[in-house]
């Protein structure tokens, strides 16, 4: 008797920047598509002066994200998560939902392994000061604060990949792009992430940071070796996000047998 495949759906979004439009649109997309996971891949917050007419407060952002109708919600740091992150952690309803953040770490959701990278643009001190050693859970006052990771992935990534095995090559989340054109301007992509992708060849990398280059080039995905990298881009007047559908042959951590990526509002699909 053949077993039914295990299917998991992930929504990824980057560069929300406390936008009222983007936060409300993410809530609607989550209700419509019913994912197992929502992953915020950096810049949920905005590090500069806010225009209250168009942006939620930091506390309002924490409340809205915590109330998303999804079982698993996780974060990766972007360059706009700095001092404001402490306010976000303080406003988070920890008794209602854990505040989960990947930082050179991974989490398993059924057979799906997600790996989250740091962000080397800006300061990570506030991000790390709320991460408990040995955990992906953010707290206001952890007993042991996480040390900041170096930009050289050789220091921390090989040990993580040995621990994860082949399943660790399924989905990598990083705010800064591992490649330049057509997904990012050559001045803002991260060559250190390029080296890591070329060394381990993950199936799929989701990034952001550069809002405009994918839109200017009319493309949201590109190969880096055998890896598919996606940057959906982000716009002020409409909400850009991706739906990742994974199919596995068993419930244990493993590489998927099939990946389908849909880009919105591009209305395009990619089968891997």
Residue 219 has pLDDT above 50, yes or no: yes
- Tens of pLDDT, residue by residue over 27-84, are 999 999 999 999 999 999 998 877 788 999 999 999 999 999 999 999 999 999 999 9
Determine whether 119 is exposed, middle or buried from the number of CB atoms within 10 Å of its CB (0-12, 13-18, 19+). Answer: buried
Query: Quick one: pLDDT at residue 2?
Result: 54
Element (H, E) at 271: strand 268-271
Q: What percent of the chain has pLDDT over 90?
A: 95
Is residue 75 in some structural domain?
Answer: yes
Q: Please give the mean pLDDT across all residues of the chain.
A: 96
Range of the domain at 146: 6-271
CA distances to 9, 12, 27, 39 from 244, rounded to whole Å, are 6, 8, 17, 11
Residue 22: CB partners within 8 Å, gap ≥ 6? 13, 16, 234, 239
Read off the tokens for 176: 């800064």
Residue 24 has pLDDT above 80, yes or no: yes
Is residue 66 in some structural domain?
Answer: yes
More confident residue, 207 or 1: 207
Do 86 and 117 form a contact (C-beta atoms < 8 A)? no
Query: Quick one: pLDDT at residue 1?
Result: 45
**What's CA 211's distance to the chain center, in Å?**
15
Q: Report helix, strand or coil for 264.
A: strand
CATH code, domain carrying 18: 3.60.21.10
Sign of CA dihedral 108, 136, 37, 154: negative
- Tens of pLDDT, residue by residue over 154-193, are 999 999 999 999 999 999 999 999 999 999 999 999 999 9
Q: Are strands 258-264 and 268-271 parallel, antiparallel or unpaired?
A: antiparallel
Please state whether the predicted TM-score (pTM) of the whole model is above 0.75: yes
Mean pLDDT value of segment 121-134: 94
Is residue 68 in some structural domain?
Answer: yes
Residue 13 has pLDDT above 80, yes or no: yes
Is residue 1 in some structural domain?
Answer: no
> How many domains, in total, are found in the chain?
1
Is residue 76 in some structural domain?
Answer: yes
Distance CA 36, CA 10 (A): 6
Mean pLDDT value of segment 141-162: 95
Q: What does 27-53 look like in DSSP terms, one character per residue?
A: HHHHHHH--SEEEEES-SS--S---TT
Distance CA 115, CA 93 (A): 25
Query: Quick one: pLDDT at residue 44?
Result: 98
């Amino acid at each position: 008797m053949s077993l039914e495949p295990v299917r998991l759906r992930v929504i990824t979004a980057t560069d929300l920047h406390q936008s009222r439009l983007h936060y409300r649109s993410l809530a609607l997309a989550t209700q419509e598509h019913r994912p197992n996971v929502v992953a915020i891949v950096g810049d949920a917050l905005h590090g500069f002066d806010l225009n209250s007419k168009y942006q939620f407060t930091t506390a309002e952002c924490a409340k809205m994200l915590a109330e998303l109708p999804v079982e698993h919600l996780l974060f990766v740091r972007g360059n706009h998560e700095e001092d404001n992150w402490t306010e976000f952690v303080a406003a988070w309803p920890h008794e209602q939902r854990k505040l989960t953040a990947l930082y050179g770490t991974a989490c398993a959701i059924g057979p799906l392994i997600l790996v989250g990278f740091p962000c080397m643009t800006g300061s990570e001190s506030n991000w790390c000061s709320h991460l408990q050693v040995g955990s992906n859970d953010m707290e206001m006052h952890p007993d042991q604060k996480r040390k900041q990771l170096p930009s050289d992935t050789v220091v921390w990534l090989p040990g993580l990949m040995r621990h994860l095995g082949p399943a660790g090559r399924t989905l990598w989340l990083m705010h800064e792009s591992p490649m330049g054109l057509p997904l990012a301007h050559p001045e803002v992509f991260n060559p250190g992430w390029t080296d890591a992708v070329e060394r381990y060849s993950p199936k799929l990398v989701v990034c952001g940071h550069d809002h405009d280059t994918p839109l200017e080039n009319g493309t949201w995905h590109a190969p880096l070796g055998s890896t598919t990298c996606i940057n959906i881009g982000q716009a002020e007047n409409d909400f850009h996000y991706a739906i990742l559908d994974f199919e596995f042959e068993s419930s244990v951590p493993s590489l998927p047998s099939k990946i389908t990526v849909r880009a919105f509002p591009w209305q395009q699909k990619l089968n891997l």
